[in-house]
Structure 1
Amino acid sequence: MNRELKRISVLVVLMFAVLFGSTSIIQVFQVDNLRTDSRNVRTLYQSYSAQRGSILVAGQPIAQSVPADDVYKFQRTYPNADLYSSVTGYLTLGGEPTGIEGAMNQYLSGTANSQFFDQLGSILTGQKPQGDSVELTLDPVVQQAAYDALGDQQGAVVAIEPSTGKILAMVSKPGFDPNALAVHDGDTAEAAYETLINDPSEPLQNRAIGGNLNPPGSTFKLVMTSAAIESGKFTPDSELPNPGTFTLPGTETEITNSEGADCGGGSTATLATALRLSCNIPFAELGLQLGEDTISKMASAYGFGQELSIPMKVTPSSYPDGLDEAQLAMSSFGQYEDRATPLQMAMVSAGIANKGAVMKPNLIDQILAPDLTVRQDFQPEVFSTPISDNTSATVTQMMVANVENGAASNARMDGISVAGKTGTAQNGGDDPYTLWFTGFAPADNPKVAVAVVVENGEGSVRPDSGIWSPRP
C-alpha cells in the first residue's frame, strides 16, 4: 500500500513539475514570440486602445496615432503616405502589420519587455499607456529626391551612408496609401486590401528589399571585378579575350557585346576597359577563369544569400551554384539565375566606397520613450569585409572612369566626382528590360551610395544588356 502511495505521489510531483515548467516557458521565455505571432489579434486590438508610438523622420511623424471617436480610441494616420509607404507599411484592423509597423510593433504598441516598468507605472498611476516612437535614419531631402527621380517608373531606389550603413532613402514604386488600410471599418479596409493585392503592378511589394527579384545585369560586374582584383591574379591592365561573339561552352548559343560590336575594338580588352565599356564577353571569359567558387565567395561576402533584417526582413539576393561552364559564363555578367535587390547592390557600392568594409544596413536610428528620452540608440556595425583597402581604391578608380568616359557617363555631375556602374538585364521573351545604376559620391570622400532599378525599361537592345541568341 505504501509503495503504491509513493508511486502516485512521485507521479503527481512530476506532473506538477511538468506543468510548472511548461507555464514558465510560455509566460517567460515565449512571451515575445506570442506577442508577435500574427494569430494573436489581442495584441493588435490592444495597440488600438493605447496611443501607439509615432514613426519619425527628422523628428516629424510619417505615421502617428490620433484620438478616434469609436471603440478603438486611436486612429492610425500616415502623413506623406505615398512618399513613405514602402517604409512604414501599414497597420490594419485584424490583420498583420507590415513594414516598420510590423517589424517594430512591440515598441510602437508599448508591449516590449523593455517597456515593462512603463506598463506597470500606467497601471499604478492610472495614466493611459503609450508606445515608444521610432526615429528612422531616412533623410527627408534624399527620400524626396529619390521619389521624384523615379517618377512614374516601376522600380525602387535605395541610398546608404557608406561609413555607417544608415539607410538615407528607400523608395518603391508604385506605392500605396496606407490610410486606406488603417480605417476602422473592416469591410472598407478589406475592400482596399483586395484592390491592392489584385493590382498587377503589385504596389504592396517593397521592391527595394523584396518582391520578384531582378537579375542585376552588368552591375554584377562590380562583384566580378572585386573577385578578380582581390584574388591577386588580375590587375586593371590584365588582358582578357575580346572576340566579336562568344559561343557558350557545350552549346550553340552565342553571346555578344552591345550591338554585336567588339568592346574597345581589339582582340583583347583590359579588365579596366571591360568594366568601363561594360563588355559582356571579357567578363564571361573572366568568370571561366575565376571559377564558380571564387565568384560565389565574393558574392556571399557582399551579402548575396545572407539573411538580413533592417529590421524589416530582406529577401536574400542570390548567386546560383552547381553551374556548368555555359551557366557560369552567363552568370558572370549578371544574367542566368543571378538575382538581386536594390539594397544588395547599394551594399556592394557602399562596401567599395567604405575601403572594403560593408556596414550592416539599418533603418532605425533611435527608439524614443513617450517622454522623448532615448530608450535605445543604434550603433554602426560591420556586416562584412569582402575586399581590402587597396582593392577598394582600385575598383573605385575603375568606376570613376566608367562615369567620366564610359557606359555610365549619364551619371556625371558638375564639380563632383562620381563612381558608378550601369546595368541592363534581360528577362526573357517579350518582358521589358531591367535597368540598373549603382554607385557613390563624392568618389574621393563618399557620403552616399545608391542603387536604382527600373523594372519596366523599354527598347530592344540596351548598351550593356547580356543578349544571347542561337547561332544560325
Structure 2
Amino acid sequence: MNKPIRAVSIFCMFLFLALMANVTYVQFWKSDDYNTDPRNARVAEASYSRERGQILVGDQPVATSKPSDDRYKYLRVYPEAGARMFAPVTGYLQLGSQTGIERSQNAVLTGEDPQLFVTRLVDLLKGETAQGGNVVLTLDADAQKAAFEGLRDTLGPKGEGSVVAIQPKTGRVLAMASYPSYDPNELATHDSAKASETYQALDGDDREPLLNRAIRTRLFPGSTFKLVTAAAAIESGKYHVGDDVPAGATYQPPGTTHRIGNDGRGQCSPAKIGFATAMEFSCNTTFAQLAVEVGPEKMREQAEAFGFNNSSLLDLQGQVQSVYPTGVDVPESEGGGTRELSLAETAQTGIGQNTVQATPLQMAMVTAAIANQGTLMRPYLVEQVQTAGFDVLRTTEPEVLNDHAVSARTAGELTDLLVATVESGTASPARIDDVKVAGKTGTAQRGDSLCSAGGKPPYAWFVSFAPADNAEVAVAVMIEEAPDRACGEIAGGQLGGPIAKAVMEAVLNK
C-alpha cells in the first residue's frame, strides 16, 4: 500500500473510532441525562402520547391527564379549585419543561421509574398502552387551603408571603403555600405560542408568582431566630427557663458605637429580667447579649444543628440554604481571606439580623425540632408512589436528620418560654381555645432606616406549634411584602399570627 492511501486509511480509521466513541457516549453514558432533560422535545412529545400519572392530595387529584383531540393524546390538567393553591408544589408540565413535583417525580409520573417495571411489563403483555404511576403528597388539603387563603386575604392583591407547616414527629410537610401564585393550566396548554406568552408574562412579573417562596426565598428571620439564640444559651448551661437574663433599654456590643434598642418596650428596660419576660416581649437587648456570651462558634453550631447552612428537602429541586454566617470576607487590601464574626456582628445575629438568612421551610424546621423534644426530622412531600391502579409501591419512611438539635430538656424549657409568649406576650394572636399553643413573633428590619422614618417596611414572621405538650403541627409564616398595610401594622403577631392559628386549627380539627 502506497503512502498516501495508507495515510487516508489511518485517518478514516480514526474518524470511525471517534464516531463509535461518540455513539457509545451518547447512547450509553449520557442516555439517562438526555432522557430526563425536560428540554428534550422527543421525550416531551412522548410524555403526551400516554396517560401521565396523577398527583394526589389524599384521594383527590391536584394534577391529572385527560384525553385530547389535537396532535397530542393527553392534556395535563390541574383542577381549577386548587390549581393556584397547589401550583408551587405540583409545578407544571409544559412542552420542553417541567417544574416542582412534575419534574422531581417525572420518572414515576411517566411510568419510566424502575419501581413500575412489572406494571409496564404487564401492560406490554396485554397489548395496552403503559400508564404512569401516581404520586401521593403529604399535604393536608385543609391546612393548605387555610395557609393560601390566609395569605391572600391578609396581604391583598399586591402582597407576597409564604407558609410552611410540618408534622414534627415525622417531617411530613402538611402545608407549603406561596403567594402570589399562578394557574398551571395556562402553561400546560398545547398551544405553545400561548404557553410561551403566559410564561413570559409570569416570568417578567416583579412579584415573581412562579417562585416557590417556601424554599427559594430567604430573608432576615428577625426575632423568630431568637429561638436559636435561646437554645444556644440554654444548651451552654449558663441559663435556664426560670433564670434572670441580661436586658436593658439599650445595649452597646463590644467594639461598636451602635446601640441595639427594644422599639420602646419598657418591659425590657431593667438591667435583669426573667427569661420568660425577655421572650414574651422579644427583648432585643437580651438576645443580643446572650449571643455575645455564647460566642459566634457556638451560635453557628446551634444554627447548623437546626439545619442552617445545609439542604434537607429531597422531593423538590431548588431549595436554597438558610445561612448563619461562617465568617466575614476580608478585603485584599487587608490581607484577604475570612475572619470570625466580631462580637458586635454576633450580637446582631442573635436577633436574626446581620447576614443571617432563613427560608420559611427552615424556620418551620427549627420550630418542629423544638416541638419534637429536640429531634429534627427530614421534611418530605412525597407520601407514596402508586401504580395507575392505586397499588402502593413505596411509602416514605420518616428520617431523622439530627437526633440532638437540642436536648429534650432544652426543648422543654424553650416550649415553656414559647407557651408564655402566646399566653401573655407578643404571640397572643395564635391562641386557640382549650389548646396550649407555643409561638414566637418576628419583625426584621431591612435597610438602615425604620419604616416609620421613611425606610423600607420590615419583614414579618410568625412561628408556632400545637398542642405544646404533644405537637401535631409546627408552622412558619413569612410576610415579605404587605404594601396595603401601614408601618405600624406590619408585625409578625398581627399579620402572621392569625394565619398560623388557622393552619394549626385546620390540622387539629380532624
In the superposition, the TM-score normalised over structure 2's length comes to 0.83
Q: 2:213 is paired with a residue of what secondary structure?
A: coil
Deviation at 1:460, TM superposition (A): 3.8
Instruction: Give 1:432's aligned amino acid.
Output: P
| Contact 1:166–1:363 under 8 Å retained in 2 | yes
Aligned pairs (5 A) from 1:4-403: 31-79=31-79, 80-94=82-96, 96-152=97-153, 153=155, 154-211=160-217, 213-259=218-264, 261-313=265-317, 314-322=319-327, 323-385=341-403, 386-403=405-422
Instruction: Give 2:111's aligned amino acid.
Output: G
CA-atom RMSD, angstroms?
2.6
Deviation at 1:344, TM superposition (A): 0.8
From the superposition, tell whether residues 17 and 112 of structure 1 become closer, same or farther in structure 2 (CA, over 3 Å). Answer: farther
Please name the residue that 2:479 is paired with. 454
Please name the residue that 1:468 is paired with. none
From the superposition, tell whether residues 38 and 158 of structure 1 become closer, same or farther in structure 2 (CA, over 3 Å). Answer: same
Which one is further off, 318-327 or 66-75? 318-327
Q: Which runs of 5+ in 1 are unaligned?
A: 1-7, 466-472
Deviation at 1:18, TM superposition (A): 12
Deviation at 1:320, TM superposition (A): 1.2
Instruction: Give 1:209's aligned amino acid.
Output: I
Deviation at 1:251, TM superposition (A): 2.9
Instruction: Give 1:303's aligned amino acid.
Output: G
**In the aligned structure 2, how far is the partner of 1:31 from the partner of 1:383?**
33
Which one is further off, 136-145 or 321-330? 321-330
Deviation at 1:254, TM superposition (A): 2.0
Equivalent pairs counted in the alignment come to: 453
| Contact 2:41–2:95 under 8 Å retained in 1 | no
| Contact 2:248–2:269 under 8 Å retained in 1 | no
**In the aligned structure 2, how far is the partner of 1:380 from the partner of 1:352?**
17
Deviation at 1:420, TM superposition (A): 0.5
Q: 2:93 is paired with a residue of what secondary structure?
A: coil
Instruction: Give 1:273's aligned amino acid.
Output: T
**In the aligned structure 1, how far is the partner of 2:43 from the partner of 2:121?**
17
Instruction: Give 2:35's aligned amino acid.
Output: R
**In the aligned structure 1, how far is the partner of 2:348 from the partner of 2:68?**
57
Q: 2:216 is paired with a residue of what secondary structure?
A: coil
| Contact 1:280–1:464 under 8 Å retained in 2 | no
**In the aligned structure 2, how far is the partner of 1:32 from the partner of 1:222?**
44
Instruction: Give 2:191's aligned amino acid.
Output: D
Deviation at 1:28, TM superposition (A): 5.8
Deviation at 1:342, TM superposition (A): 0.9
Instruction: Give 1:197's aligned amino acid.
Output: D
From the superposition, tell whether residues 308 and 33 of structure 1 become closer, same or farther in structure 2 (CA, over 3 Å). Answer: farther
Deviation at 1:30, TM superposition (A): 5.1
| Contact 1:278–1:464 under 8 Å retained in 2 | no
Deviation at 1:121, TM superposition (A): 4.3
* Identity across the alignment (%): 43
Aligned pairs (5 A) from 1:385-464: 385=403, 386-428=405-447, 430-457=455-482, 458-460=485-487
Deviation at 1:453, TM superposition (A): 0.8
**In the aligned structure 2, how far is the partner of 1:107 from the partner of 1:75?**
17
Q: 1:375 is paired with a residue of what secondary structure?
A: strand
Instruction: Give 2:240's aligned amino acid.
Output: T
| Contact 1:157–1:169 under 8 Å retained in 2 | yes
Please name the residue that 1:470 is paired with. none
| Contact 1:407–1:463 under 8 Å retained in 2 | no
Deviation at 1:69, TM superposition (A): 0.5
| Contact 1:258–1:464 under 8 Å retained in 2 | no
Q: 1:352-371 CA deviation, whole Å, 9 max, x = no partner?
A: 11111111111111011112
Q: Which runs of 5+ in 2 are unaligned?
A: 1-8, 328-340, 450-454, 494-510
From the superposition, tell whether residues 370 and 265 of structure 1 become closer, same or farther in structure 2 (CA, over 3 Å). Answer: same
Instruction: Give 1:255's aligned amino acid.
Output: I
**In the aligned structure 1, how far is the partner of 2:18 from the partner of 2:244?**
73
Which one is further off, 241-250 or 345-354? 241-250
**In the aligned structure 1, how far is the partner of 2:364 from the partner of 2:30?**
36
Instruction: Give 1:75's aligned amino acid.
Output: L
Q: 1:171 is paired with a residue of what secondary structure?
A: strand
Deviation at 1:116, TM superposition (A): 3.5
From the superposition, tell whether residues 177 and 463 of structure 1 become closer, same or farther in structure 2 (CA, over 3 Å). Answer: closer
Deviation at 1:241, TM superposition (A): 2.8
Deviation at 1:151, TM superposition (A): 2.5
From the superposition, tell whether residues 116 and 408 of structure 1 become closer, same or farther in structure 2 (CA, over 3 Å). Answer: same
**In the aligned structure 1, how far is the partner of 2:492 from the partner of 2:178?**
24
**In the aligned structure 2, how far is the partner of 1:289 from the partner of 1:169?**
37
